[in-house]
Structure 1
Amino acid sequence: MPPAERGTRSTTCLTRVDFPTPGFPVTAIFMGCAGGIVAPRRDDAALTTAYRSPMFVVLLPTSLLAGAGWALGRLGRVPARPLAQVAFWVLSPALIFESLRTADLAASGTVVLFALAHLGGMFALSMGVGRAMFGSDRAGRTVASLVLTFGNCGNLGLPVLLFAYGQGGVDVGAVFLATHTVLLATLGVAVAAWDGHGGKKVWAALLRVPWLYAVGAAFFARWVGIPDLLARTTGLLAEGAIPLFLLLLGIELAQVRGVGVARGALALALLRLVGGGALAWALAGAFRVQGLLRGSLIVEGSVPTAVNAFLLASQYDRRPDLAASALFLSTLLSVGTLSLTLSLLGPGG
């Protein structure tokens, strides 16, 4: 598969749109992967305006899926646990496998170092924030580490980069995503599985988690290749991951109770967006990157919480209500923060 195709395949369900004006706002491309984005006709001004609406293009597809899950959760029709198991053991590994298998990792040095520095900085921040906010509540501290450290740099970050900077931005984002995915499958699992009773349980959890094997299988597939039939199968599974994640998010949100959860979730959401963005800007200056590379890295560092962070919290029963609330709020608020980020960066990054 040519590099250009590999760079775009990692979004799993992203559709390129050629809009009549170059200034298409970032608020019109959030969560396009949840339902695809259809290009408006150039001669239909009203439809174009509708597709530019943040409420229509950004929040509507995501909100409908999460809302359907919320309704199911409130009615008690579908328990969250079986869906979480399907997402964790089947769809999420397929998404990780496809993202890494199809990513263009050619020019990766600076991007990998930047991603490692950003993830490390956010993890350090999360340790202090978790202790300050949750004290002896180990589950709360775990959620803080997950939602602050890991961002939605794939299913949200890559579409933003495509429309903001074109294929060059996607190529940078794919390398960032690959680095992020490897750490999510190792550090993320270790954080979620840690119970304070030594490392044996963590190592056992790592060996049981399918994500780590998905990472290894992806790099093996890049080396030897896989049959088209298998590639189509894993691609279909990967495309089903995000809709199920959003339904599961809604089901978990239906179980949220109490003002304390909402307050803690809002604080974590703001820290993820503001802290992640500020750290990305600082690192861009420290690495002395310029232009498209600078803009792409700052965008990837400014995205909201990753859906897989919530999935880990749900799998290991680490306050999934708090994780779901933080994920929802950070995604909602990021419509404004990422729009501001791209405005400050300008068209050239």
Structure 2
Amino acid sequence: MDLIARIAEIIVPVFLIVAIGYGYARRKPTDLVVFNRIALDVLAPLLVYTALASRDFDLDGQAPLLVAGTVLILGCGLLAWPLSRATGAQARTLVPVVMFNNCGNMGLPLALLAFGPAHFGAAVALFSVSNLLHFSIGARITSRAARTRDLLTSPLMIATVLGFFSAFTELRPPALIASGMKLLGEASLPLLLFALGVRLTGLTRQGLALGLLGAVARPLIGLGLAIPLAWALQLEGAARGQLLLFSALPPAVIQYMLADRYQQEPEKVAASILVGNALAVVFVPLALALAL
């Protein structure tokens, strides 16, 4: 019963905010264009930078977790290739959906509630590594026409580089400035969950059929790799928990933006993302039960 109560304490606040966003958008049509631009250009970069530059973040101590996260992402992609061939799905559609998870909108708030502020930097580091791979390898998998340079010079990627630089050199802004940056960055956490709820209003019956494969394959393949990977790298405690939670997250919302930009079956990608985030109510508690 204690484990069930602990899992409920973690997931109920997250899904409550998602539900509020969903309910609001059902009553009033909501345009996320401006919010997406602010989130990607201002809020998320500040969140990433301040977490990585924090004195609580130990870059050397988190190296095994970051290696594990990188191997997990690449391993999911390798396993998704034969899955796409076996099911007749286009590899450029399915592989990025299975490789990259929603470690921003959903993963960061869940990690903060599950493992506390002391381990939040590790979750942000995983998020940063995922973004780096997503905007390079993931973009090229989605389309041969993807311009990786444009993606890697985005504010989010610049903030990631600066954050790791501060963690390595211990050069940081003055505390007064850093506090304001952190406050604004952390505002993105509930707003990203609210926006996720808004996006779920786009789920249709047709989308349920189209998106089920990617939605289920993403967390199942992830967990199937994460458990032996955590054992092989001897991850324990919060590091093991972070990896298991990371592995079970649904497909990344940002993959829809890439699929739409390059017209790589964006409707199927959107379906996988929406169904996957709806099914997170099943897979996230499973991962937390294994992690806690």
TM-score bracket for the superposition, by shorter chain length: 0.7 to 0.9
Partner residue in 2 for 1:225: 172
Q: 1:214 aligns with which of 159, 184, 195?
A: 159
Q: 2:101 aligns with which of 151, 162, 166?
A: 151
Tell me: CA distance 1:107–1:152, structure 2 relative to 1, closer, same or farther (3 Å).
Answer: same
Partner residue in 1 for 2:20: 64
The alpha carbon displacement at 1:280 in A equals 0.7
Q: Is the 8 A contact 1:70 1:250 kept in 2?
A: no
Task: Provide, for residues 269-312 of structure 1, a one-character-per-residue CA deviation record: whole Å limited to 9, x for no partner.
Answer: 11111111111113234334455543443233222234444454
Matches within 5 A, 1:233-248: 233-248=180-195
Partner residue in 1 for 2:60: 106
Task: Provide, for residues 135-157 of structure 1, a one-character-per-residue CA deviation record: whole Å limited to 9, x for no partner.
Answer: 56xxxx55533332222345644
Q: 1:280 aligns with which of 226, 246, 259?
A: 226
Matches within 5 A, 1:69-80: 69-73=25-29, 78-80=30-32
The 1-side partners of 2:263 and 2:48 are apart by: 22
Q: 1:29 aligns with which of 6, 10, 15?
A: 10
Q: Is the 8 A contact 1:151 1:305 kept in 2?
A: yes
Tell me: CA distance 1:90–1:133, structure 2 relative to 1, closer, same or farther (3 Å).
Answer: farther
Task: Provide, for residues 211-237 of structure 1, a one-character-per-residue CA deviation record: whole Å limited to 9, x for no partner.
Answer: 221222223444321134542443344
The alpha carbon displacement at 1:130 in A equals 4.5
Identity %: 26
Partner residue in 2 for 1:7: none
Please tell me the residue identity of whatever aligns with 2:137: L
Partner residue in 2 for 1:35: none
Task: Provide, for residues 1-38 of structure 1, a one-character-per-residue CA deviation record: whole Å limited to 9, x for no partner.
Answer: xxxxxxxxxxxxxxxxxxxx6763323312xxxxxxxx
The alpha carbon displacement at 1:93 in A equals 2.8
The alpha carbon displacement at 1:89 in A equals 2.9
The 1-side partners of 2:94 and 2:44 are apart by: 21
Partner residue in 2 for 1:332: 278
Please tell me the residue identity of whatever aligns with 1:219: F
TM-score by length of 1: 0.66
TM-score by length of 2: 0.76
Q: Is the 8 A contact 1:158 1:174 kept in 2?
A: yes
The 2-side partners of 1:262 and 1:209 are apart by: 33
> Higher relative contact order by CA 8 Å / sep ≥ 6: 1 or 2?
2
Q: Is the 8 A contact 2:100 2:252 kept in 1?
A: yes
Please tell me the residue identity of whatever aligns with 1:262: L
Please tell me the residue identity of whatever aligns with 2:67: L
Partner residue in 1 for 2:210: 264
Tell me: CA distance 1:234–1:143, structure 2 relative to 1, closer, same or farther (3 Å).
Answer: farther
The 2-side partners of 1:235 and 1:338 are apart by: 27
Partner residue in 1 for 2:48: 96
The 1-side partners of 2:137 and 2:177 are apart by: 29
The 2-side partners of 1:338 and 1:244 are apart by: 20
| SS class of match (2:147) | helix
Q: Is the 8 A contact 1:153 1:300 kept in 2?
A: yes
Task: Provide, for residues 220-261 of structure 1, a one-character-per-residue CA deviation record: whole Å limited to 9, x for no partner.
Answer: 4443211345424433442343444445445544455561x2
Question: Over aligned residue pairs, what C-alpha RMSD do you find?
Answer: 3.6
Please tell me the residue identity of whatever aligns with 1:86: I
The alpha carbon displacement at 1:107 in A equals 0.8
Tell me: CA distance 1:99–1:143, structure 2 relative to 1, closer, same or farther (3 Å).
Answer: farther
What is the aligned length? 287
Tell me: CA distance 1:134–1:63, structure 2 relative to 1, closer, same or farther (3 Å).
Answer: farther
Larger Rg: 1
The alpha carbon displacement at 1:101 in A equals 2.8
Q: 1:87 aligns with which of 39, 42, 48?
A: 39
Partner residue in 1 for 2:69: 115
The 1-side partners of 2:121 and 2:160 are apart by: 19
The 2-side partners of 1:161 and 1:83 are apart by: 23
Partner residue in 2 for 1:41: none
| Residues 326-335 or 287-296, more deviating | 287-296
